[in-house]
Structure 1
């Protein structure tokens, strides 16, 4: 019986070692990425602390309904674009336009200079602008995560401000640390391509194997502690026998 227990313990130890080699790197990356993601408050990561207070819609505004172009409208929202009140018209199929709230006329797409002014106005202390680039909805940078045509206003400090090219909405502020956070988030969920898929076989498989490895390690620790206690009792018994 003792020989059988020894073989079982040896087999469990062998399995634990091989599983440890298999999941060691993912466990290190999960721990490291988790650490990176909690270093800063999430508001700082998202750049929420950089945003200026939104301009209130004038109480005296006599809004004129927008002049629709015949398409089915899903939602209609009144907002401010800088100092200008506008309607945000959402059509079916994720298409959007802006309309002047004072006249109801649909507004043309946002220009580069308008995008820069919107991005500057959305921040408490805008920095020096390095570049202003426009991207199509199907060719947006990874850090935007929106299927919308957008202007990217890049600042000298590494901040990216994304402005919707059709409506003039500020879609996102992406700080340099946000991009670091995003990379480690991709490592954490094992999806560096889209960084959005939190349910796929690779992640589920490694998570399951990691759980088995940790549980097996606790079992081995428990078995080792019992062996040490048994040996200690045996030595104490032998010592008492010799003294008698």
Structure 2
């Protein structure tokens, strides 16, 4: 019985050794730095205070029969204060506070660049602006939103929602490495979101069995050594 368990323990060690090594390395990498640094909190400027308009703001026309509205709020942008109408489907529109009229459905490159520069607290210069559709987000965004990517220097990305002007994310080279390690940790390098899939579950079961067999074998080996010592005495 002991020999059988020992053989299984060895084979399971070979099978479970690789995922255990990957879990250890990726886990160690992910805890190496504070999560605030990973999220780029130090690169985010403080949100601007909403300027008090000289005249009472004109509320935008809302037609919930066409598109369900989740909320309407004021937001401060580099070009001035705007209404942000947020819809239940996740989209949004901007509107003027002076007239209540809706602004263009999509931000221009210059508008997005202004928002990104105001939100970025780093030292790197703005190098490039690139727009992505909702179904073609880059790997370091994955929000399912149309967005402008403002690249600062070689590695800092600030993502601005192309409809609302919201700053969706600030990404760094370390965040992308962290994201890769997270995908490695949960064994989902494509979407990096699925924490319950066959490969991960089977690997965890193999590691558990290897640990249990080892816990069973260890007392037997200890008792065998003790008996040998007693006989020698």
Which residue, out of 4, 12, 19, partners 2:12?
Answer: 19
Q: Highest CA radius of gyration, 1 or 2? A: 1
User: C-alpha deviations, 1:30-51, integer Å up to 9, x for none?
Assistant: 0000011001100000001111
Cα offset, 1:126, TM superposition: 4.3
Is 1:55–1:82's contact at 8 Å kept on the other side of the alignment?
A: no
Alignment map for 1:4-153 (pairs within 5 Å)? 8-59=1-52, 62-68=56-62, 70-82=66-78, 84-108=80-104, 109-153=106-150
Matched position secondary structure for 1:15? helix
Q: Distance in 2 between matches of 1:33 and 1:53?
A: 32
Aligned to 1:240: none
- 5+ residue gaps, structure 2: none
1:232 paired residue number: 229
Deviation at 1:147, TM superposition (A): 0.8
For 2:75 and 2:205, how far apart are their aligned partners in 1?
47
TM-score in terms of structure 2 length:
0.92
CA distance in 2, matches of 1:225, 1:130: 65
CA RMSD of aligned residues (A): 1.7
- CA deviation after TM superposition for structure 1 residue 60, in Å: 5.5
* Greater length-normalized contact order (CA 8 Å, ≥ 6 residues apart): 2
What do the CA deviations read for 1:138-161 (whole angstroms, capped 9, x no partner)? 111111021110001112230111
Tell me which of 208, 212, 226 is aligned to 1:211: 208
- Aligned mates of 2:163, 2:198 — CA distance in 1: 38
2:195 paired residue number = 198
> Does the CA contact (< 8 Å) of 1:85 and 1:102 recur in 2?
no
Q: Give the Cα–Cα distance (whole angstroms) in 2 for the partners of residues 226 and 145 of structure 1.
A: 55
Structure with the higher helix share, 1 or 2: 1
More deviation, 105-114/93-102: 93-102
How far 1:224 moved relative to its partner? 1.2
Conservation of the 8 A alpha-carbon contact between 1:55 and 1:83: no
Q: For 1:24, what is the secondary structure of its paired residue?
A: helix
Say whether the 8 Å CA contact 2:149–2:160 is kept in structure 1: yes
Kindly report structure 1 stretches of 4+ aligned residues shifted beyond 6 Å. none
Distance, in Å, in 2 between the alignment partners of 1:25 and 1:31 is 10
Structure 1 residues without counterparts, runs of 5 or longer: 1-7, 237-244
CA distance in 2, matches of 1:121, 1:106: 23
Q: Report how far residue 176 of structure 1 moved.
A: 0.4
**Does 162-171 or 66-75 show the bigger shift?**
66-75
| Counterpart for residue 153 of structure 2 | 156
2: distance between equivalents of 1:104 and 1:231? Answer: 90
